[in-house]
C-alpha cells in the first residue's frame, strides 16, 4: 500500500492477515468522522504523519483514502495492521429528501453492460438534489435510446423523479490534479 505523497505505507503480512504499516517511517491513523481512532474492523479516513521527511513535513495529512484497521496481528510482528483498503473517499450523492447516499452502486449500474458499450467515458455530475448531468464520450454504438436508459437507471436507483441531462462531449475534462473524475457532486 503506497501513496504518491509518502511512498510505501504498508506491506503484506507474511501470514496473510492484511497489511503491516511501516511504523518506522509513518504514523498512519484511521479516523472516524469525529477525528477519533477507529476500532479494529471499522473503516475510516487515512491520516498520515511522515516520520522521515525532515525537509517538508506532513503532519496529520489526509490522503483521501478509506481503510480498515485490524486487531493485533497473530503473526507476532507487532506492527499496526490494516485489514482492508477501500480506496479513495468520494462525495456522497444528495437525495431530494435531504439524505446522502454512497454513489458506488449507481456508478456500477451506469457502466454495466450493455449500457457501457454506448460510450468510451462518462462522468456523473450532480448539480442539485434533483438535477444530474451525465457527460458522455459516445462510441459508435451510441443511440438515442442510450440517453433514455441512463435517465431511467439514475431515477430508478435513487427512487426519486430527478432530471437527468445527457451531454455528449469529445472528452471529459480532467480534475485540476490531472486525474479523471467519474463523479462530481456540486451540492
- Here the CATH number for the domain that contains residue 154 is 3.30.300.30
Q: How far apart are CA 34 and CA 38, in angstroms?
A: 10
- Of 65, 88, 111, the one marking the end of a domain is 88
% pLDDT > 70, the chain: 99
- The CATH number that applies at residue 47 is 2.30.38
Burial tier of 79 (Cβ tally within 10 Å: 0-12, 13-18, 19+): middle
pLDDT reading at 134 higher than 80: yes
pLDDT reading at 24 higher than 80: yes
Q: Do residue 55 and residue 97 come from a single domain?
A: no
pLDDT reading at 67 higher than 90: yes
pLDDT reading at 138 higher than 80: yes
- The pTM assigned to this predicted structure is 0.62
pLDDT in tens, 25-56: 999 999 988 899 999 999 999 999 999 888 88
**Residue 92 pLDDT:** 83
Q: How far is CA 98 from CA 27, 90, 151, in A?
A: 37, 18, 21
Amino acid at each position: 500500500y503506497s501513496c504518491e505523497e509518502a511512498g510505501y505505507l504498508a506491506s503484506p503480512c507474511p501470514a496473510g492477515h492484511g497489511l503491516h504499516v511501516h511504523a518506522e517511517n509513518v504514523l498512519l491513523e484511521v479516523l472516524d468522522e469525529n477525528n477519533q481512532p477507529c476500532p479494529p474492523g471499522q473503516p475510516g479516513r487515512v491520516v498520515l504523519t511522515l516520520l522521515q521527511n525532515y525537509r517538508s513535513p506532513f503532519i496529520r495529512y489526509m490522503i483521501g483514502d478509506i481503510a480498515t484497521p485490524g486487531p493485533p496481528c497473530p503473526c507476532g510482528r507487532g506492527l499496526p495492521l490494516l485489514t482492508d483498503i477501500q480506496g479513495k473517499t468520494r462525495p456522497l450523492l444528495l437525495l431530494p429528501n435531504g439524505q446522502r447516499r454512497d454513489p458506488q452502486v449507481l456508478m456500477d449500474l451506469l457502466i454495466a453492460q450493455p449500457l457501457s458499450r454506448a460510450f468510451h467515458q462518462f462522468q456523473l455530475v450532480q448539480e442539485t438534489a434533483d438535477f444530474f448531468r451525465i457527460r458522455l464520450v459516445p462510441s459508435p454504438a451510441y443511440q438515442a435510446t442510450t440517453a433514455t436508459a441512463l435517465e431511467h437507471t439514475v431515477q430508478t436507483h435513487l427512487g426519486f423523479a430527478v432530471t437527468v441531462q445527457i451531454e455528449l462531449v469529445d472528452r471529459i475534462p480532467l480534475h485540476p490534479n490531472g486525474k479523471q473524475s467519474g463523479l462530481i457532486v456540486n451540492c
